[in-house]
Structure 1
Amino acid sequence: MTVKEAPKYNDTSVTISDVVNYLEQKVPLQSQHHVTTPHIVVGDVTHIVTGILIALDITEAVLDEAVEKGCNFIVVNQPIFIDPLAQVIPENYAGKCVIKAIKHQLTIYVFNTNLDHLGRGVSHRITNLIELQEMRPIIPHKAVLYRLTTFVPLHAANHLVQSLCQVGAVLATQNLTSVAAPVHHAAYSAHLSDFTAGSDLEFSQESQLSFILPTPYKEQIIQTLLQVHPYEKVTYYLEQVEAIEDNMGSGVVGTLPIELPEKYFLKYIKTKLNLSHLQHTNYFDRPIKNVAVYAGSGGGLLKEVLSKKIDAFITTGLQYEQFLEANGKTLLIDIGYHASRLGLKKLILALLSKEFNNIVVLRCKTITNPIHHIND
């Protein structure tokens, strides 16, 4: 039986800073393909949250919706501006939005971290819609961890293991090792310089313990080690290691239930994702079976996709040169920026509602997509 962890924030005095810290701790991983990082655009993070509105973009209409619904905190996916503003004036789109946000005491937070790293991002929603199977990341996430090795008397080993595991350490190995010490020493000394010529030595056994330390808990674990260890002078070794997490990373690769000819596959994608249009490379007379999906600007993943000999790559934000590079190697499909954020508001809402269950969290109803196409 799995015990659900109780929400940490279950009162009505949650600050905007609390929400920001939660999001950045929950999804701390930054994809190398992001141009910008999560940040506060405007507002005071010390304000108490009256409500959270989740939007894809910031427009004046979105700000009006936030005011109407009593939400003073807006979590948005797309930055208002890429380049720094030289002037905050109402004559331009970004300045007009910033002025209105300040006037109504709204805080705007850009949260564009790729939720694929949690194993349940927009890429996963797209792969579910097109019914891919045997899914795995295009690029698995490499977690930075630490390996801690120390030595402890046998009688104190269990207590030390329990103490370190309680603060986040994971026991990796436990082995016996022999230690030599002068007979006249009451306790083990790690200083070989204490040995004198002609001193008798006795051999005792210690437990050599090796732990894996998640980066956020490293300092706390080391402090606990120094406090709990029975030796006055604690000897330990710390090394940085990388761990591949096969179920987390950038994008998703999967297989279709059956192979499809290219033309049928494109029609299948349009129907399943409810697309009015898409862009793609030339056909190359190969059935489509292995498909990669990256819900974002996938140009930075193209070389990895091509090296894996994937039949089709669904993404957005591609450059003309990238279509040329992929032509004849994979069916490269650009579904458009708006389609690549399919279900993103719902994912962020689920992430926040689970932790902040006494705060109003709403999905923005305002349609913000500024791009339209003429369809025959």
Structure 2
Amino acid sequence: MTVKEVTEILEDLAPLPYAEGFDNVGLLVGDSTSEVRGILVTLDTMENVIDEAIEKKCNLIVSFHPIIFGGLKKITGKSYVERVVIKAIKNDIAIYSMHTALDNVPNGVNAKICDVLGIKNTKALIPQKGSIKKLTTYVPLKDADAVREAIFNAGAGNIGNYSNCSFNVNGLGSYKARENAKPTLGEIGKTHYEEETQLNVTFSKAHQSKIMKALFATHPYEEVAYEISTLENNDQNLGMGMIGTLDSPMGELDFLKQVKQTMSAGGIRHSKLLGREIRRVAVLGGSGAFAIDAAKAAGADILITADIKYHEFYKAEDKIVIADIGHYESEQFTKNLLVDYLTKKIPNFAIRLSESKTNPIKYL
């Protein structure tokens, strides 16, 4: 199995187009055609993780956080990032990062947090904008069924619990083939009129490449007329953070103690307790201050996240409890999620959970 084949399996779980624009995801180091001998799954790729991969004979590291985030102008070994990259290349170890692509999907980072904390009936806290696209194309009547079926198979036409959704309008299309054209129908230099179906489908942006390949492969025309637009509609299962409910309400202090124990947090920094029961819980793994307003608007009693700054706690405004449990602590179960997923998809393959300590924060 090659690196590319493994990453394609990972992208079935977390398609890279779902990553945030600022992020750096995908294959960061290594050759996609290399044969994989073993996979090491980690939250961060540090030097000790490279050493662990060498020891365990793993030549592909699947890392949640990208070791290369900004551009590297020099690779001289002066920074920890450069040293990791150099050591990985020297030892023919590929590094693949998922980061916000895995944050945004419904079975990703935040779903795992909800599962661990017993939060049910979940949906995205901040639905990702621009994730739903619409394709409009024009197909001769006799070819419409074949084209429609091909793009359905590529991922178009899925709306909630329904598949093969489309809207079709029959009409009369026209075109005139120029001198160098090779028209499927009609003659060069003459305006041709053809009974056509206007085919409209919506699709997730993650499937756009496959859908367009299917369209071009099955459409009979030399030049395919089509339009792609971005819709304002939101997929409620796709986006940053999650919000859901507890089976039974809990007191604020009791819930925070449970979170501290379950997430093995060295401590929890939180805003003022409000003397209310906790029933509706919002979570966002990693740095989540940007989700405070969304959590309040969604009626959450508490937001579980990390990296909250001093003044950001004021945003609670006696409407919500903000709890900072630590960046590493909030995302620590992500590597378990990935190991479980890969083990199911690639049974009888060497997939290892990293045992290296990568949390840079210590507690007194």
Aligned pair count reads: 342
1:22 Cα deviation after fit:
4.5
The structure-2 alpha-carbon separation of the partners of 1:194 and 1:108, relative to structure 1 and needing over 3 Å to count, comes to: closer
1:368 is paired with a residue of what secondary structure?
coil
Aligned to 1:9: none
Aligned to 1:66: 53
Q: Report the residue type matching 1:59 in the other structure.
A: M
Aligned to 2:10: 23
2:234 is paired with a residue of what secondary structure?
strand
Q: Tell me if 1:263 matches 2:253.
A: yes
Aligned to 2:215: 222
Q: Tell me if 1:347 matches 2:337.
A: yes
Aligned to 1:6: none
Aligned to 2:227: 238
8 Å CA contact retained: 1:55, 1:345: yes
* CA displacement, residues 258-296 of structure 1 (integer Å, 9 cap, x when unaligned): 333322222232233333311101123333221100112
The structure-2 alpha-carbon separation of the partners of 1:107 and 1:309, relative to structure 1 and needing over 3 Å to count, comes to: same
Task: Measure, in 2, the Cα distance between the counterparts of 1:75 and 1:51.
Answer: 11
1:238 Cα deviation after fit:
2.6
Q: Report the residue type matching 1:226 in the other structure.
A: H
**1:317 aligned to 307, 331, 346, which one?**
307
1:315 Cα deviation after fit:
0.5
Q: Tell me if 1:145 matches 2:133.
A: yes
Aligned to 1:4: none
Q: Report the residue type matching 2:291 in the other structure.
A: L
1:314 is paired with a residue of what secondary structure?
strand
1:292 is paired with a residue of what secondary structure?
strand
* CA displacement, residues 24-55 of structure 1 (integer Å, 9 cap, x when unaligned): 464224444x7532154444444322211111
1:335 Cα deviation after fit:
0.7
Task: Measure, in 2, the Cα distance between the counterparts of 1:298 and 1:367.
Answer: 23
8 Å CA contact retained: 1:174, 1:207: no
* CA displacement, residues 313-369 of structure 1 (integer Å, 9 cap, x when unaligned): 000122222112224231000110121113211222233334444642211122222
Task: Measure, in 2, the Cα distance between the counterparts of 1:95 and 1:113.
Answer: 22
Give unpaired runs (5+ residues) of structure 2. Answer: 158-163, 175-184
Aligned to 2:98: 111
Task: Measure, in 2, the Cα distance between the counterparts of 1:311 and 1:329.
Answer: 8
Q: Report the residue type matching 1:343 in the other structure.
A: F
**1:306 aligned to 296, 311, 318, which one?**
296
* CA displacement, residues 57-98 of structure 1 (integer Å, 9 cap, x when unaligned): 233332222111111121222344655556545565334433
* CA displacement, residues 216-241 of structure 1 (integer Å, 9 cap, x when unaligned): 234224324532x7xx998x553414
Moved more, 125-134 or 169-178: 169-178
Moved more, 18-27 or 57-66: 18-27
Q: In terms of Rg, which structure is larger?
A: 1
The structure-2 alpha-carbon separation of the partners of 1:208 and 1:314, relative to structure 1 and needing over 3 Å to count, comes to: same
Aligned to 2:358: 368
8 Å CA contact retained: 2:244, 2:280: yes
Task: Measure, in 2, the Cα distance between the counterparts of 1:114 and 1:253.
Answer: 18
1:177 Cα deviation after fit:
5.1
Q: Report the residue type matching 1:147 in the other structure.
A: L
Q: Report the residue type matching 2:227 in the other structure.
A: L
1:174 Cα deviation after fit:
5.5
Task: Measure, in 2, the Cα distance between the counterparts of 1:105 and 1:176.
Answer: 55
Q: Report the residue type matching 1:240 in the other structure.
A: S
8 Å CA contact retained: 1:252, 1:292: yes
TM-score, length-normalised on structure 2?
0.78
Q: Report the residue type matching 2:44 in the other structure.
A: D
Give the CA RMSD over aligned residues: 3.7
Aligned to 1:8: none
8 Å CA contact retained: 1:30, 1:37: no
Task: Measure, in 2, the Cα distance between the counterparts of 1:298 and 1:337.
Answer: 9
Task: Measure, in 1, the Cα distance between the counterparts of 2:217 and 2:48.
Answer: 52
2:99 is paired with a residue of what secondary structure?
coil
Q: Tell me if 1:55 matches 2:55.
A: no
* CA displacement, residues 186-242 of structure 1 (integer Å, 9 cap, x when unaligned): xx99xxx979xxxxxxxx997654334541234224324532x7xx998x5534143
2:280 is paired with a residue of what secondary structure?
strand
2:85 is paired with a residue of what secondary structure?
helix
* CA displacement, residues 153-206 of structure 1 (integer Å, 9 cap, x when unaligned): 4x665455445544554354456757699xxxxxx99xxx979xxxxxxxx997
The structure-2 alpha-carbon separation of the partners of 1:140 and 1:206, relative to structure 1 and needing over 3 Å to count, comes to: same
Task: Measure, in 2, the Cα distance between the counterparts of 1:326 and 1:246.
Answer: 24
8 Å CA contact retained: 1:76, 1:109: yes
8 Å CA contact retained: 1:147, 1:240: yes
**2:322 aligned to 327, 332, 335, which one?**
332
1:244 is paired with a residue of what secondary structure?
coil
1:148 Cα deviation after fit:
2.0
Give unpaired runs (5+ residues) of structure 1. Answer: 1-13, 182-187, 196-203
Task: Measure, in 1, the Cα distance between the counterparts of 2:297 and 2:246.
Answer: 20
Task: Measure, in 1, the Cα distance between the counterparts of 2:108 and 2:169.
Answer: 45
Aligned to 2:179: none
